[in-house]
């Protein structure tokens, strides 16, 4: 399957909107507009490459559908925050005379919120696509890992340390009058220098770590803490079985799987529905299964009800 089948182009993202987004803050809004278009194109391509080599041939149609949905959602949200950015001005561009500081701060906060909303949506969208194919990122912490709780605790601690470090760097920057020399005593790592350059040179940030970046990191901390709590709670769960008609749904705590046992081979429609929702056939136990979570239980019940309504024929 080739990326060209997705039908995406940098020009999908309006050049006019992208240019207007930077006209009040950049001396080269035309160049920034082209960068925004290319960033959109590369984003879609990167997500496509994330999945294309990890799926089976019969899942290619599903990938095309998922990528079309992702492209549309990505584009609409990018245009939304770019429109919001067009209301932000820089005194270096417009001139300091009667500069509307308070109004500009309000527009900046609104823009940062929209960027954060886009980033949050993107994470959820990629996660949903991954789950649809029964995949998990190699860098992700799997709930199947015996030391998943310990891994999460370590990752949370690292993010909390990074949050404190970013605040420290921002404080030094502010105390130094926004002078790059003020960061000499910060003993920056190469990774920190790279992040700061990206934010201030290419992202038009007014500080080493902009608000949205801190908010995003803090959001990750909260998300991981919630997941940690869920995993700790699961240790007290017990395996249960739900019988709907002639089909048994097993919430298997020991194997960390939600399993569906059909009395006979389900119809092609049901099998397609199972695959689209992340269920895989496990011949060793004679069940369709996926990792357990509340969403899996709900989808399993919906599929079984559909089966009992007439999709059971082999």
Backbone dihedral angles phi then psi of residue 63, each to the nearest 5 degrees: -65, -40
More confident residue, 10 or 93: 10
Q: Which helix (DSSP H) or strand (DSSP E) does residue 153 occupy?
A: helix 148-175
pLDDT confidence band for 242 (50 / 70 / 90): very high
State the pTM of this model.
0.45
Claim to verify: residue 299 and residue 219 sit in the same structural domain: no
Claim to verify: residue 22 and residue 132 sit in the same structural domain: yes
More confident residue, 261 or 115: 261
Claim to verify: residue 65 and residue 100 sit in the same structural domain: yes
Q: Look at residues 202, 236, 270 and tell me which one is the last residue of a structural domain.
A: 236
Question: Per the structure block, which two tokens stand in for 167?
Answer: 């605040």
Q: What does DSSP say about strands 280-282 and 257-261: parallel, antiparallel, or unpaired?
A: unpaired
The model's pLDDT over 75-122, given as tens digits with 9 standing for 90+, comes to: 999 999 999 888 887 766 666 766 777 887 888 888 888 888 998 999
Q: Is the pLDDT of residue 294 over 90?
A: no
Between the two ends of the chain, the Cα-to-Cα distance in Å is 30
Claim to verify: residue 194 and residue 225 sit in the same structural domain: yes
The model's pLDDT over 262-283, given as tens digits with 9 standing for 90+, comes to: 999 988 888 888 887 889 999 9
Contacts by 44-50, CB closer than 8 A, 24 or more apart: 44/6, 44/8, 44/70, 44/71, 44/74, 45/3, 45/8, 47/126, 47/129, 48/3, 48/6, 49/3, 50/126
Claim to verify: residue 127 and residue 177 sit in the same structural domain: no
Q: Look at residues 138, 162, 185 and tell me which one is the last residue of a structural domain.
A: 138
Count of alpha carbons within 13 angstroms of residue 4, beta-carbon side: 0
Number of separate domains in the chain: 3
Claim to verify: residue 48 and residue 130 sit in the same structural domain: yes
3-class SS of residue 119: helix
Query: Could you list the residue range(s) of the whole structural domain that residue 292 is in?
Result: 240-311
Q: Look at residues 187, 206, 236 and tell me which one is the last residue of a structural domain.
A: 236
Claim to verify: residue 49 and residue 122 sit in the same structural domain: yes
């Amino acid at each position: 399957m080739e990326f060209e089948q997705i039908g995406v182009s940098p020009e999908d993202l309006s050049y006019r909107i992208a240019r207007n987004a930077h006209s009040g803050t950049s001396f080269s809004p035309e160049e920034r507009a082209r960068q925004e278009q290319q960033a959109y194109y590369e984003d879609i391509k990167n997500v496509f490459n994330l999945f294309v080599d990890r799926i089976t041939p019969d899942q290619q149609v599903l990938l095309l559908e998922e990528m079309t949905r992702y492209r549309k959602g990505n584009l609409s949200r990018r245009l939304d925050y770019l429109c919001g950015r067009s209301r932000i001005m820089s005194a270096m561009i417009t001139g300091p005379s009667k500069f509307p500081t308070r109004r500009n701060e309000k527009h900046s906060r609104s823009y940062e919120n929209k960027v954060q909303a886009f980033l949050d949506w993107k994470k959820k969208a990629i996660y949903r696509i991954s789950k649809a194919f029964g995949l998990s990122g190699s860098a992700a912490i799997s709930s199947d890992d015996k030391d998943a709780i310990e891994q999460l605790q370590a990752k949370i601690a690292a993010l909390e340390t990074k949050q404190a470090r970013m605040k420290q760097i921002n404080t030094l920057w502010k105390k130094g009058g926004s002078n790059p020399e003020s960061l000499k005593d910060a003993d920056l790592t190469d990774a920190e220098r790279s992040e700061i350059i990206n934010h201030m040179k290419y992202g038009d940030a007014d500080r080493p770590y902009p608000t949205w970046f801190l908010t995003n990191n803090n959001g990750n901390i909260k998300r991981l803490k919630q997941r940690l709590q869920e995993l700790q709670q699961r240790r007290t769960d017990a395996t249960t079985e739900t019988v709907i008609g002639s089909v048994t749904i097993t919430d298997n705590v020991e194997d960390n799987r939600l399993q569906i046992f059909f009395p006979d081979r389900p119809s092609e429609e049901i099998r397609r529905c199972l695959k689209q929702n992340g269920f895989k056939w496990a011949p060793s136990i004679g069940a369709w299964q996926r990792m357990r979570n509340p969403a899996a239980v709900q989808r399993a019940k919906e599929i079984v009800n559909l089966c009992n309504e007439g999709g059971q024929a082999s």
